[in-house]
Amino acid sequence: MQTTDLTGRLLAATPAITEGVFERAVLLVLHHGEDGAQAVVLNKPVDATVDTVLDGWQEHVSAPSVLFQGGPVGLDSALGVVGLPGVPTEVRGVQRLFRGVGVVDLDTPAELVMSEASGVRIFAGYSGWSAGQLEAELREHTWYTLDLEPTDLFTDEPDTLWHRVLRRQPGRLALAAYYPDDEDYN
């Protein structure tokens, strides 16, 4: 049984995840349905410029102007996510997902997309869950589900995003932002 549709929401890793790409990760859910879920990690930049894997987009990507690891699946493929706030019409090469966010066909000339877009982030790979898998992880309290704020997707400070999205939460959840990196130094 599927929980509420999480498309357009954030998943923030709980402190229980202590290794790998999901440690202190903040993910944007691009799709969540009966067939599973797909998301991208917003706060894991890699030490590579976009032009090392994709021509024509480097000068258009949002700061920091590097490639991001979207997750552990399909690392040999690139996925572009664009912001389209207040753009009422269709944009060539862009599939709208929710509110002002879409996925861009990276074969589309960047200039056509960027004339309408407020930002773009290029991800190597993505995060994926089969049917029921994300729901099981939510029942195990692996993820916090949070609201997306406009500045989250294209933050120029991705290394602090996990702390910032948790600190803005009400009540005790905000305290998770202060969980030590290493429990031995508590």
pLDDT along the chain (186 residues), means of 10: 83 93 98 97 97 94 97 95 86 92 95 92 98 96 95 97 95 84 60
CA distances to 90, 144, 146, 150 from 10, in Å? 25, 8, 5, 12
Q: Is residue 1 domain-resident?
A: no
Name every residue whose Cβ is closer than 8 Å to that of residue 134 and which is 6 or more positions away in sequence.
Answer: 6, 32, 36, 37, 143
Position 85 scores a pLDDT of 85
Q: Is residue 132 domain-resident?
A: yes
Q: Where are the beta strands (DSSP E) in the chain?
A: 10-13, 26-33, 36-41, 68-69, 73-83, 94-98, 101-104, 119-130, 143-146
Q: Is residue 170 domain-resident?
A: yes
Number of domains in the chain: 1
Q: Is residue 145 domain-resident?
A: yes
Contact 3, 138 (CB under 8 A): yes
> Which CATH number goes with the domain that contains 117?
3.40.1740.10
Q: Is residue 4 domain-resident?
A: no
Position 172 scores a pLDDT of 87
Range of the domain at 106: 10-185
In single-letter form, the type of residue at position 39 comes to A
Contact 123, 70 (CB under 8 A): yes
Q: Is residue 2 domain-resident?
A: no
Position 168 scores a pLDDT of 95
Q: Is residue 29 domain-resident?
A: yes
Q: Is residue 66 domain-resident?
A: yes
Q: Is the pTM of this model over 0.75?
A: yes
